[in-house]
A and B are shown apart, each in its own frame.
Chain A
Amino acid sequence: MNAAFDVRDIVVRYGRRTAVDGVSLSAAPGTIVALLGPNGAGKSTLLRAVSTAVPPDEGRIEVFGHDVARDPVAARARIGVVFQERTLDPDLSVWRNLWFHARLFGLSRPRARARIDEVLERFGLADRREDTVAQLSGGLARRLEIARALVHRPGLVVLDEPTTGLDPDARRDVWADLRRLRDEHRVSVLYATHYLGEAELADHIAIIHNGVVVRRGSPAELKSGLAASALRLSTEDDASAARQLSSAGFDARVSVEGVSVRCARPESHVAEVVRAVSVAVREVAVVAPSLDDVYFATTEGSST
């Protein structure tokens, strides 16, 4: 089966500035992929390239097997896009915005009507169908944009910072919608965010910095692979314990919280570490790094 998207070594330049510099990334259908990175990292440019809005200067992008450079129209038919900024027509009604999208995406009139009813119902917008977009709250307008991106039933939904400016309730709703899409319809989701908590909702995260993917993996893989993970011991004599651990080859340090032993996959080293000390051990704790630790370690490390 074709990948939902398959990005191969793409480079995108704006004049002399290289926004995306040799990125490769792909995802199977039914996967949620997060692009995480600071502002200006190249996330939005990468999303624009995948959604065919910007042609890459080098490399190749396929969406469900359609090369976006050679057959952009076929690729676009499989993609639903939610842009970072509002792209709704504020003067037109909720229904009219959806109608315009559905017809532009090739749905016949009867099918467009049916699909619009369906997404309005699903996204809780049915009673607002005649309101103009200008009358909607920010959260509802965002839901409408997501609903609109789904009217033509794309296999891949691309979202650029979908929850920026939304309150916590609206954010939660957006994520519930996206997960439901993945679970019920095997829709793939590719989104950019700089909210670490939101990246954690993905199946796969790519951390982008200076136009390059500097780290990738599932949230769990990223966390466990980080050297910031550690075992923390509370002993009767922390200084002796640290010396014994160091001579056994561990990276051990004494801190106010006890002895900290930095290692990857700390949960698999508990027995070894306890055996290496002769003083009484009161408590052993696995200190898993948060995604914040992963993010800062990655972006700070790669910017030097």
Chain B
Amino acid sequence: MSGTAIADVGRALGVVAARDLHRQARHPGVLVAQGVQVLFFLLVYAIGFDGMIGSVDGLPFSAYVYPGIVAIQVVTLGVSSGLTYAFDREYGMLREMLVAPVPRLCLPLGKVVATAVLAGGQAAVMLAFAPLLGLPLSLVGYLGGVLAFAVVCVVFGLAGVLLATLVPQVQTLQSVVQMAMYPLLFLSGSVFRPDAGPGWLSAVMRINPMTYATDAIRHLLIPGHGAFPLWLDLVVLAGLTAVLATVLRWKVGR
């Protein structure tokens, strides 16, 4: 790809993402609702369970579970890119974008970029409270964490938009996403260790890609507390990204 073509793709991604962010800014209620949801998770899991469970591997439960709670928020946001794609298709806006002189892949990817920006912003706010829950972070750890959550959002955003291209009806897509979200989010090591449950549960968690995302972030934010080797987490996530991007490229055409 030539330099001009790369610049064109970058511009197109920026334009699609800017539109989504602009729309988001016009509906601040959605952001507030997401903030309340995070607060709820914090109260229930981090603070409520803290007194009951005490510590995990020598860490306060709240500190151990905090990266998982942020991951739940970020992955939810990522998968929701698929819904914004489906709504644009439902209400006709996607048609207009499909006849624009940009590679088609830019349209779903632009949406993923927009949610990654939102996810990065939300992670930045949430991680700023990490020290209060017994998880002190260095500046590098903090910035690395924000970036890592944005990357995780991209991976699951790709899954969301791919799902949207595979399921033509918005209502069906919403049902599929709703059905998939709970096992995806909660059987991922986000709120308990992947090896803490019975064998069958562990096996299920090992086929959940979010398990590796949560584990990689835990490696980053709480060194030494990952359940799997970091290289395994990264290989699984990189492989998943490559497969999702390839299938998405094939689905949306040129």
Contacts and interface: CB of A to CB of B under 8 A. Distances in A.
Interface of A: 51-53, 55, 72-74, 76-77, 79, 81, 83, 85-92, 96, 100-101, 103-106, 148
B22 A92 contact: yes
Interface stretch (B99-107, B113-121, B153-161, B212-220): B99-107
Nearest to B26: A91
Given A53-B98, A88-B92, 19 more contacts: A51-B99, A53-B99, A73-B254, A76-B100, A81-B99, A83-B95, A86-B91, A86-B92, A87-B92, A89-B93, A92-B26, A104-B12, A104-B15, A104-B16, A104-B97, A104-B102, A106-B8, A106-B11, A106-B102
6 contacts: A73-B254, A83-B92, A87-B93, A90-B91, A104-B12, A104-B100
B95 A87 contact: yes
B96 interface: yes
A90 B8 CA distance: 27
B251 interface: no
A101 B96 contact: yes
Contact of B92 (A73, A77, A79, A85): A85
Contacts of A91: 23, 26
A135 to B, nearest CB: 14
Nearest to B100: A104
A52 B19 contact: no
A73 B15 contact: no
- Among A55, A77, A87, A96, residue most surrounded by chain B Cβ atoms (within 10 Å): A87
B28 interface: no
- Among B15, B96, B102, B254, residue most surrounded by chain A Cβ atoms (within 10 Å): B96
Contacts of A148: 96
Contacts of B23: 89, 91-92
B96 A106 contact: no
A73 B101 contact: yes
Interface in B68-102: 91-93, 95-102
A105 B103 CA distance: 11
B11 A77 contact: no
Nearest to B104: A72
A155 to B, nearest CB: 13
B199 interface: no
Contacts of B29: none
Nearest to B110: A104
A105 to B, nearest CB: 6
Given A89-B93, A96-B22, A100-B19, A52 B11 contact: no
B102 A73 contact: yes
A31 B93 CA distance: 28
Given A92-B22, A92-B23, A103-B15, A87 B100 contact: no
B3 interface: no
- Among A74, A81, A89, A92, residue most surrounded by chain B Cβ atoms (within 10 Å): A89
B17 to A, nearest CB: 11
Given A86-B92, A87-B93, A106-B11, A76 B19 contact: no
